[in-house]
Amino acid sequence: MADERQVRVIESARWQTHDENIKAEGPDPIEYPEYYDGISMKRIFAYVIDFLICAGLGLAGFFVAVVIGFLSFGLLLAPLMAAIALIPVTYHTLLIGSRHSATFGMRFCGIKVYRVNGARPEMLQAFIQTAVFLLTAPATSFLILCVAMFNIRRRCLHDMLAGTITLNVPDKT
């Protein structure tokens, strides 16, 4: 199983830079266009799916918090509501930092998050990507995502700051 996983990592990261003097930036869009075909629309669609999942989890959490808050005479209501606010951060961070390197919406759309050298993102990178996205996107009415239109690899600001890149999964292109 370990050999199979290693083969998958190598195949999915065949664009990795092996020269230590060259900074890895992800696959070349001209040499590997299959990694970028429709990536912006897939990311938008994946986000909508993830938003709906987080909204459903938040709604369920709200009802649980109300019941527990009622049973605790209101003492636990505020901490539980604060915990509900952490659902999107936890959801995105844990799933992007997992072995799949993708949220459920990303998996559905056939995209995955990589470090710029082709490896799986670390949990800290997943947290940075999630935190920067959740802090900047709503504050700018999602206009910050237009950064992706001005670079050839379609990386958003949160991708750049976290050192990640979102690409099509090679098997699902």
pLDDT 10s digits, 88-142: 999 999 999 999 999 999 999 999 999 988 889 999 999 999 999 999 999 988 8
Name, in order, each residue with C-beta under 8 angstroms of 86's C-beta and a sequence gap of 6 or more: none
Residue 172: band (very low, low, confident or very high) from pLDDT cuts 50, 70, 90: low
3-state helix, strand, coil in the chain (%, to 5): 60, 5, 35
Q: Judge whether residue 28 has pLDDT over 50.
A: yes
pLDDT 10s digits, 69-103: 999 999 999 999 999 999 999 999 999 999 999 99
First to last CA, the chain: 24
- What pLDDT is attached to residue 173? 47
pLDDT 10s digits, 4-14: 443 344 344 55
Closest CA to 103 of 31, 52, 154, 151: 52
Contact 108, 100 (CB under 8 A): no
Angle at which helices 123-136 and 87-96 cross, to 10°: 140
Q: What is the mean pLDDT of the chain?
A: 86
Work out the number of other CB atoms within 10 angstroms of the CB of residue 158: 22
pLDDT (average), residues 15-44: 77
Q: State the residue for tokens 């696959």.
A: 27
Residue 27: band (very low, low, confident or very high) from pLDDT cuts 50, 70, 90: confident
Q: How many Å apart are CA 160 and CA 44, to the nearest integer?
A: 18
